Amino acid sequence: MFGRTLAGVYDNAMVYKDITQWLRNRTFLALFFGLLVLSEAVGLVCVSIPAEAGEMGPVAFGILSGVLALFVMTIALMGMTLTYREFHNRTFELYSLSGMSLERTIGGKSISMFAQFLFGFCCIVPFMFFSFLLGGLDFYLIFAVALSIAVAVPPLCLLALCTALHFRFKGFGILLWVGGIVVTILVASYISLFFIITIATRTSMPFGKPLDFFKALLDFDGDAWNGLSVFLLFYGQVCLLLFYLCCNAISPPQDSREHFVKFFAFTLTATALIAFASARLGPETLIVGGVSAFVMSCAIGLCYFYKSIEVPLMFAKRQRERRFFPGKILGVLFMPGAWGTLWTVLLIALAGGAFTGLVVSLKGSLLSDQRAISYALLPCQAPYFLIFPAGFLLNFERYRGKPKALRNAVLLWWVLVGVGLVVVVAALSDAQESNLLGPGQAAASSVCQILAYVVSPISAMAVGMPEYVELGSVLPWFRVVLGGMGVYLAIRSLTKTAARNRMERAKTRSAASS
């Protein structure tokens, strides 16, 4: 096992190809000399400028950190454009023809991108430590920043690959997409990193002082190490989720890694809920936890429920050959195709509901009963919001047998109808408060409010159920049951059709062979 892993890294064809291409590229020389000259120039300028002791150290450090961050972005962008070209002009087909596994392909690409980063890292970081000699800097801060950037690189590289493999860009759109995604991820990961650590360590570590955390780590502080382990747990899962999302993009109809994607999406939600539960409980935690489970269920449902119905050939073969418990069970629960998606969505929704229910029972006094129950039931209603817009849209010919169009339409439905109703309800509520509505219009306002609670998850979350409506306490339960039944019936009908097609094909095949 270890030998195979080592060979996978050492003798990986993709690492060989990407590194060779990079070394033969003129950009490499420009980057190599550019980084060295720039770092040295920054050092020399800072040394030569007459200033108070300790003034120039932070300046040099700031510039060099910026250069390193810029270099990371360059590596991610270069890797992304190369992968994008390779994937979209079918070069990846030639790789898969060689029998190179999906993991080896994506692993090789990630390793080569990280190796390219290490090259720049080794060029710049010595000069960052040199700025320590100029004074005004904490040694730990330099260490912390260098380490933070290094830690951010693997998910960033995987994200770049994921973007290249999942999206199709035109012209300058690529720059906008990449810029937007990179900035969002960097900000989100930076905030979530310290948010998670804060929760896990149960300390009120002020945001913006990561230095204290690193110092505490080096002092072998128990809370800090606990926080680090929670962070690593999340970090590992996020990296694996991105990794398998990349693998899954290559040839999903033949050989997918959809089960890993679903599995890590589930564990990530479960881990997040546990982290929330172990933190100080309160209504905010409850809302954040419930909403994240709800969003994750809907995202998985949208991405996979409205996509593949059939189990890919190679997955089915591997699953038949699996003999032992964890692999076999995980393969069934998170199976590629509609049934696996149903189980995953239900598992996430149930985990979200159970967590919220637990919090409600512990801290129920913080919320009104009805509101607390509606929060607890929120994640469990994900199947309802997934299946009912689709049921309505399937009345139209253009969406039948076109899962991609259906998926986009459901998303559009959520956004357009949801946001539209939120605006209408807000406007009517304002008018009602100012006593500008007649009796008929007041009834219309109530109808809009109920519709908003029923038709789109966005409006349901924004508007909530009006407390004066008699059905208010029953409706969430009703939706949970209705959603579960709807999803079950839809999948049963879809898989029946797929099985019938499969049987017909098998019949002709056996007739042909005989």
Nearer to other proteins, 93 or 430 (CB): 93
Residues near other proteins (CB under 8 A), total: 36
Q: Is 99 in the site for other proteins (CB under 8 A)?
A: yes
Nearer to other proteins, 492 or 500 (CB): 500
Indicate left, alpha or beta for 203 from its phi (over 0: left) and psi (-120 to 50: alpha). Answer: beta
In the shown chain, the binding pattern of residues 63 to 82 toward other proteins, with x for contact by CB under 8 A and - for none, equals -------------------x
Nearest distance in Å: CB 11, other proteins: 6
SS (H, E, C) 98-159: CCCCHHHHHHHHHHHHHHHHHHHHHHHHHHHHHHHHCCCCCHHHHHHHHHHHHHHHHHHHHH
Nearer to other proteins, 82 or 458 (CB): 82
Nearest distance in Å: CB 80, other proteins: 14
Sequence-distant (≥ 6) Cβ neighbours of residue 55 within 8 angstroms: 135, 136
| Single-letter code of the amino acid located at 216 | A
Sequence-distant (≥ 6) Cβ neighbours of residue 229 within 8 angstroms: 200
Distances (CA, A) of 94 to 250, 257, 388, 492: 12, 19, 42, 37
Angle at CA of residue 79, ends 261 and 75, nearest 5°: 115
**CA 345 – CA 488 distance, rounded (Å):** 12
Residue 218 · residue 137 · CB < 8 Å: no
Q: Is 40 in the site for other proteins (CB under 8 A)?
A: no
Distances (CA, A) of 271 to 175, 230, 243, 289, 376: 34, 9, 18, 11, 18
Among positions 1, 52, 97, 397, the unique one binding other proteins when judged by CB under 8 A: 97
Q: Is 20 in the site for other proteins (CB under 8 A)?
A: yes
Nearest distance in Å: CB 75, other proteins: 16
Nearest distance in Å: CB 402, other proteins: 10
Q: Is 317 in the site for other proteins (CB under 8 A)?
A: yes
Nearest distance in Å: CB 273, other proteins: 39
In the shown chain, the binding pattern of residues 325 to 354 toward other proteins, with x for contact by CB under 8 A and - for none, equals ------------------------------
Q: Is 168 in the site for other proteins (CB under 8 A)?
A: no
Q: Which residue has the tokens 């973007």?
A: 163
Q: Is 4 in the site for other proteins (CB under 8 A)?
A: no
Q: Is 284 in the site for other proteins (CB under 8 A)?
A: no
Nearest distance in Å: CB 253, other proteins: 6
Q: Is 90 in the site for other proteins (CB under 8 A)?
A: yes
Indicate left, alpha or beta for 339 from its phi (over 0: left) and psi (-120 to 50: alpha). Answer: alpha
Helix axes 2-10, 102-133, angle to 10 degrees: 70
Q: Is 396 in the site for other proteins (CB under 8 A)?
A: no
Q: Is 24 in the site for other proteins (CB under 8 A)?
A: yes
Q: Is 308 in the site for other proteins (CB under 8 A)?
A: no
Sequence-distant (≥ 6) Cβ neighbours of residue 300 within 8 angstroms: 262, 265, 341, 344, 345, 348
SS (H, E, C) 384-452: HHHHHHHHHHCCCHHHCCCHHHHHHHHHHHHHHHHHHHHHHHHHHHHHHHCCCCCHHHHHHHHHHHHHH
Residue 102 · residue 140 · CB < 8 Å: no
Q: Is 12 in the site for other proteins (CB under 8 A)?
A: yes
Sequence-distant (≥ 6) Cβ neighbours of residue 86 within 8 angstroms: 92
Nearest distance in Å: CB 314, other proteins: 7
Nearer to other proteins, 119 or 194 (CB): 119
Nearest distance in Å: CB 91, other proteins: 4
Among positions 6, 37, 70, 94, the unique one binding other proteins when judged by CB under 8 A: 94
Q: Is 314 in the site for other proteins (CB under 8 A)?
A: yes
Tokens at 5, concatenated: 């892993």
Among the listed ranges 66-74, 94-102, 199-207, 358-366, the one in contact with other proteins (CB under 8 A) is 94-102
**CA 442 – CA 438 distance, rounded (Å):** 6
Q: Is 513 in the site for other proteins (CB under 8 A)?
A: yes
Q: Is 509 in the site for other proteins (CB under 8 A)?
A: yes
Q: Is 91 in the site for other proteins (CB under 8 A)?
A: yes
Among the listed ranges 89-97, 134-142, 422-430, 431-439, the one in contact with other proteins (CB under 8 A) is 89-97
Nearest distance in Å: CB 147, other proteins: 32
Residue 393 · residue 492 · CB < 8 Å: no
Tokens at 298, concatenated: 């809907």
Among the listed ranges 339-347, 441-449, 483-491, 502-510, the one in contact with other proteins (CB under 8 A) is 502-510
Nearest distance in Å: CB 399, other proteins: 15
Nearer to other proteins, 280 or 320 (CB): 320
Q: Which residues bind other proteins (CB under 8 A)?
A: 11-14, 16-17, 20-22, 24-25, 82, 85-86, 89-91, 93-100, 253-254, 313-314, 317, 505, 508-509, 511-513
